[in-house]
Amino acid sequence: MDERHAFLTYLKAASHARSYLHGQYEKLQADDAKTLAYQNVERFMYGLSLGEEYFTAAKHTPISVQPLLYYYSLTHFLKSCILTVDPTYPSSVKVLAHGLSTRKRKKQHYRFLEDEIRIQPHGLFPYAAKCLFQMEDLPSKVSMSELLEPLPFMKPIFKFKSMTTETSAPFPKLIAEFAVLYNLSMLVRYEDEWWGEMEQLRDREDYVFIKHYLEKMPEEIPELISSWLYEYEIH
């Protein structure tokens, strides 16, 4: 276990988590940082705990529901991360929505990699991008291929399919993972016929990319969360 993973374990103790938050709020020069740390420590720890529980459950669940559980996992992890830089979170109901939306789907000739999600002005996605990565000017929409291709663990399968192009990542990996999982979770929830056929037939190109993503992505999430918390604390 490296220092970053050990740091996430360290935060599971209330006294350590409270001390961590206190230090973060002092850096922010927040009024009464100690009181804020006491007020937020339970929510902070609960987010990390619930994120881990959903994550563990997803790893032992059939692919048919994995995206939904992974999405919930990352949602709770992100909320805990935001709480370290915004002690008043959530200060408005505007930041509680997904912050993303999907277009109305056409049943015929739908291709996952060509699908786009729209980024809303308010909600968890834009707020996390702003708080955690200082991203202010976000594009109005982004495609699955734009999000997936820059991810290191996806590059081999794009090369295998001779689809590799020179693309720059539109978002940090942590935010990109959230956007992809949001779209996959929407497919699971509202496009059950399409999702069921894809999983059963396994002859669509979409299946290859989605299955590869769901197999490799779980290795990323704990590392991304622990790294962000560790590096933010250190620096």
The yes-or-no verdict on residue 110 having pLDDT over 90 is: no
Which helix (H) or strand (E) element contains residue 45? helix 33-59
Spatial CB neighbours of 95, under 8 Å, sequence gap ≥ 6: 89, 122, 123, 124, 127
The whole-number pLDDT of residue 201 equals 78
The residue length of the chain stands at 235
The yes-or-no verdict on residue 15 having pLDDT over 50 is: yes
Global pTM value = 0.91
Find tokens 């609960």 and name the residue. 46
The CA distance from 230 to 226, in Å, is 6
> Could you tell me whether strands 141-143 and 116-119 are parallel, antiparallel, or unpaired per DSSP bridges?
antiparallel
Find the farthest-apart pair of alpha carbons in the chain and give their distance in angstroms, rounded. 59
Mean pLDDT of the chain: 87
The yes-or-no verdict on residue 107 having pLDDT over 90 is: no
| Comparison of pLDDT for 117 and 167, the residue scoring more | 117
DSSP percent split of the chain into helix, strand, coil, nearest 5: 65, 5, 30
The CA distance from 48 to 141, in Å, is 29
The CA distance from 72 to 188, in Å, is 13
Q: Tell me which DSSP letter residue 119 carries.
A: E
The whole-number pLDDT of residue 235 equals 41
The whole-number pLDDT of residue 167 equals 62
The yes-or-no verdict on residue 86 having pLDDT over 90 is: yes
The yes-or-no verdict on residue 234 having pLDDT over 50 is: no
